[in-house]
Structure 1
Amino acid sequence: MYESVGGQLPDDVERSLLRHNGSGLTVILPPEFTLLGVEDILENRAAWLK
């Protein structure tokens, strides 16, 4: 994943992704935000870089 992201993630972010890999459809942050999993992070980053 480091190659796809372009560098190392902060330790706490990496630990969270390894343990939870996002929050799925569970809303955890208002207003109606969810945490992205690894695949979604990479897809959003690729779209942002275009």
Structure 2
Amino acid sequence: MVLNNADIDPHRNEHGYYECLSCGTRTTSDDPLGRCVDCGGEVRNIGVARE
């Protein structure tokens, strides 16, 4: 079996990695997060490269 780029995406994460902009809590989630699980503050996905 020959694999190509359409079969494997090496940059795809199995989980989202999130950091709260208010309290700094970091967590993972299979579903997109909109708010921090600890304080309810806004979160950002840190599993995505920032250029």
Output the TM-score relative to the length of structure 1. 0.25
Higher relative helix content: 1
Tell which has more relative contact order, 1 or 2 (C-alpha 8 A, sep 6+).
2
Q: Which has the larger radius of gyration?
A: 2
